[in-house]
Chain A
Amino acid sequence: MKAPKRALLIVGSPKPGASTSESLGAYLLDELEKRGVKPQALHVAKAVRTDASVAELRAAVAAADLVVFSFPLYVDSLPAPAIRVLELIAADHAAGVGADGAGERAFVTICQSGFPEVDHSEVAMEICRNFARAAGFEWAGGLILPAGGMLGGQPLAKMKGMMRTAVKALDLSAEALAAGQPVPDEAIQLMAKPPIPKFGYRFMANWGWRSQFKKRGQAESLKVQPYA
């Protein structure tokens, strides 16, 4: 792996607004920029919307020597538009489009899920690793953040206290990636630590959902079965 000059953040969340995936990816991109790497970012849902946006995606991927793919876990895997983006990139590679840089570009992933265990995300990480191999990228490592609901789409820099292990993990990752090294094991281990104990996370999440419904006076409707 070579030291990258241009990094492309692909935000894999289909959310139109701020997302936790963007927050994590943007932090890593900022840290890479501080180390001299030119940044660019795009979002999957917009990238696959039109022929023009797909062309823009293709150009951005071709220009990058490091792709940061940050996505939320959806049903044990990647969100559909994130898969669509990977399908397009791999098809281009198979067709020889952008082949000039093949083998000299790296792929790093960040997967965050609402569950407090990393186990849920491990198959998604395997999928990303398989993609990297199929599309001619060097695998630069994968970070899994459990209990991503704690960040809730806010900028990571604002949450440094509670998210300090994630911040440290991304700092270590940026340092390594900018030097042409893969994400270190220490960063992977740090990122995998839930910000709070698992039982506390479940308690807070359940309390949060119930209180939302109570505020609306809809406590009874929470478990409705419209298709029963």
Chain B
Amino acid sequence: MNANPTGAVLLLDGRLDDEPTAALAHEALIDGLAAGGWAIDDWRLRDDKIAWCAGCFKCWTQTPGVCAHNDDGRAFAERWVRSDLVVFLTPVTFGGYSSELKKALDHVIPILLPFMQKRRGETRHPQRYESRRDLLVVGTVPAGRGDSAEAQTFKRLVQRNTLNMQPPRWTVGVLEEGAGEREVRVAVNELLAEVGLSGERIANGAGREKVVA
């Protein structure tokens, strides 16, 4: 049971290096979430010991709901389930997530059920838990690449994720490297507002996008 009045946030920091704009975004996320009263669980993934998901499906068949490999991947899944908001911070990597973010994200399999059901015209796995969490995704791209093919692919990827994760509210923003501190803070605070800090709601499935140059 989360005792925090606002909620619990799982912040998944998938940075590969210390690129300054992403570092500013991380700071802005921490500050904005703290100001909003969120209990922050900040995962700097490059320092976390999470094995690659081996696709063994033991988390479906032998240890239902729990990864068979005993490392931080188990804690990740547990924190995911207990969170009210999940935040991804990642360099946009060919239009996808960094390998560091993805090594954690691949461990969401135990929170799904193995069954297949058709929903809105596509086959999906049902959720193991009834609870849902909002999703906020921040990606960084090189300067001048805010409208690139990679940035567009990135937004489509987040949208695909939301079809499976079913967040009540979600948003995605792309920050260009080289953006100043003020610009980054404004953009991050707007994204945070969109997933609830201001109480403003986004229509389920509609999502929003932001690019800051």
Contacts and interface: CB of A to CB of B under 8 A. Distances in A.
B143 interface: no
Contact of A15 (B54, B97, B99, B153): B54
Contact of B129 (A72, A126, A228): A228
Nearest to A124: B96
> For the complex, would chain A's binding face be called helix, strand, loop or mixed by DSSP majority?
helix
A83 B82 contact: no
Interface residues of B, number: 49
Contact of A127 (B56, B96, B105, B115): B96
B106 A79 contact: yes
A52 interface: no
A75 interface: yes
B99 A227 contact: no
A77 B117 contact: no
Contacts of A117: 122-123
B164 interface: yes
Given A86-B94, A127-B157, A134-B94, A79 B116 contact: no
Contacts of B66: 226
B56 to A, nearest CB: 7
Contacts of A205: 114-116
Interface stretch (B19-27, B57-65, B132-140, B179-187): B57-65
B61 A212 contact: yes
Interface in B71-90: 77-78, 81-82
A117 B123 CA distance: 7
Given A74-B53, A75-B161, A221-B64, A83 B153 contact: no
Nearest to B109: A75
A126 B106 contact: no
A90 B94 contact: yes
B153 A75 contact: no
A189 interface: no
Nearest to A72: B55
Contacts of B122: 115, 117, 119-120
A8 B136 CA distance: 38
B113 interface: yes
A53 B29 CA distance: 37
B106 A74 contact: yes
B102 interface: yes
A209 B123 contact: no
Contacts of B40: none
B76 to A, nearest CB: 11
20 contacts: A14-B54, A15-B55, A74-B106, A76-B161, A80-B102, A81-B52, A81-B99, A83-B97, A86-B94, A87-B16, A115-B124, A123-B156, A123-B160, A127-B95, A130-B149, A218-B64, A221-B64, A223-B128, A224-B65, A225-B65
Given A209-B115, A222-B113, A223-B128, 10 more contacts: A77-B96, A83-B96, A83-B97, A87-B99, A90-B94, A115-B124, A117-B122, A120-B160, A123-B160, A130-B95
